[in-house]
Amino acid sequence: MITVYGIPNCDSVKRARAWLTEQGLAYQFHDFKKAGVPPEALAAWCEQLGWERVLNRAGTTWRKLDEATRNGVVDKASAQALLLTQASAIKRPVLQWADGRLSIGFSAELFSSHL
CATH number at residue 53: 3.40.30.10
Over residues 5-9, mean pLDDT? 96
What average pLDDT does this structure show over 71-97?
A: 97
Q: Please tell me the distance from the alpha carbon of residue 10 to that of residue 12, in angstroms, as a whole number.
A: 6
- Confidence (pTM): 0.93
Task: Look at residue 63 and tell me whether its pLDDT is greater than 90.
Answer: yes
Measured N-to-C along each axis, helices 76-85 and 39-49 cross at an angle, to the nearest 10 degrees, of: 140
Q: Which residues are catalytic?
A: 10
Name every residue whose Cβ is closer than 8 Å to that of residue 80 and which is 6 or more positions away in sequence: 39, 42, 43, 46, 51
Domain count, the chain: 1
pLDDT average, residue stretch 67-86? 97
The type of residue at 66 is D
pLDDT of residue 36: 94
Domain that holds residue 80: 2-113
**Over 90: is that where the pLDDT of 115 sits?**
no
Confidence of residue 114 (pLDDT cuts 50, 70, 90): confident
Query: How far apart, in whole angstroms, are the C-alpha atoms of residue 61 and residue 1?
Result: 30
